Amino acid sequence: MNSCKYLILASGTGSNAEALMKTAKENNINVCGLFSDKSNAEVLTKAKKYEVKTFTTEEKDNKDEIFFKLSQVIEELKPDWLLLAGFMRILPTKILQRFFDEELQQYRVINIHPSLLPKYPGLGGYRQAYENGDTSTGLSIHFVDEGLDTGKLILQKSFSIAESKNLEEVIEKGKSFENKYFPEILLKIHNGNKKDLLNELSF
């Protein structure tokens, strides 16, 4: 299939993006590009390893310029889905509307977040859980809407942090869970089970 299926958006080191690209390569899934709003992001190097075409912005670009460039990439590649793997910006409605799915009544845009939403939206979910003395935390995978981590939940997985010695240990544990479950959602979509995303169990 030559049409573009998945465009990954990422801002940082890209462990989740790499997990997605690795799964895609192993299963012949068409990830046609990776867009980063950071020209020096480590994830760009990881994308080259998997022969995924990269797109980025300049350091001087403001928010409007970044989203204009993203719109150009979407227009060029025409992806079916956007997968947000540590992309630290809220997508504007104009971009989201390109991905509205009548069957799902959702945008075909999925994000992974390091907390058990609605707890700790925004930045530093694991840090907030650890500093607040929570005995457990987890990850959320959700459809994206116009809000800050407010879209319909697809999957949540919790794990204990009661015995964690420091924040780094919590983050490392969280990343291992994220890297396992985000690719599973990609496989579910690839295998034609997108409606199952509306019925995933959360715990």
Structural domains of the chain sorted by starting position, each given as residue range(s) with its CATH number in brackets: 6-112+140-155+179-195 (3.40.50.170)
Rounded to 5°, the CA angle 83-170-10 comes to: 20
pTM of the entire predicted model: 0.94
Q: Is the pLDDT of residue 176 over 90?
A: yes
| pLDDT value for 7 | 98
> Where is 54: in which H helix or E strand?
strand 54-56
Catalytic residue among 113, 142, 190, 194: 113
Residues 6+ apart with CB under 8 A from 14: 41, 42, 43, 44, 46, 47, 85, 86
d(CA 132, CA 109): 31
| pLDDT value for 203 | 47
Q: Is the pLDDT of residue 106 over 70?
A: yes
CB 121 within 8 A of CB 115: yes
CB 34 within 8 A of CB 20: no
Q: Is the pLDDT of residue 2 over 50?
A: no
Asked which of 64-73, 87-96, 140-149, 193-202 is least confident by mean pLDDT, the reply is 193-202
Q: Quick one: pLDDT band at residue 1, thresholds 50, 70, 90?
A: very low
Q: Is the pLDDT of residue 3 over 80?
A: no
142 given a catalytic annotation: no
Q: Quick one: pLDDT band at residue 43, thresholds 50, 70, 90?
A: very high
CB 24 within 8 A of CB 44: no
What is the rounded average pLDDT for all residues in the chain? Answer: 94
* More confident position, 201 or 106: 106
Q: Is the pLDDT of residue 194 over 90?
A: no
Torsion over CA: 71, 74, 75, 81 (sign): negative
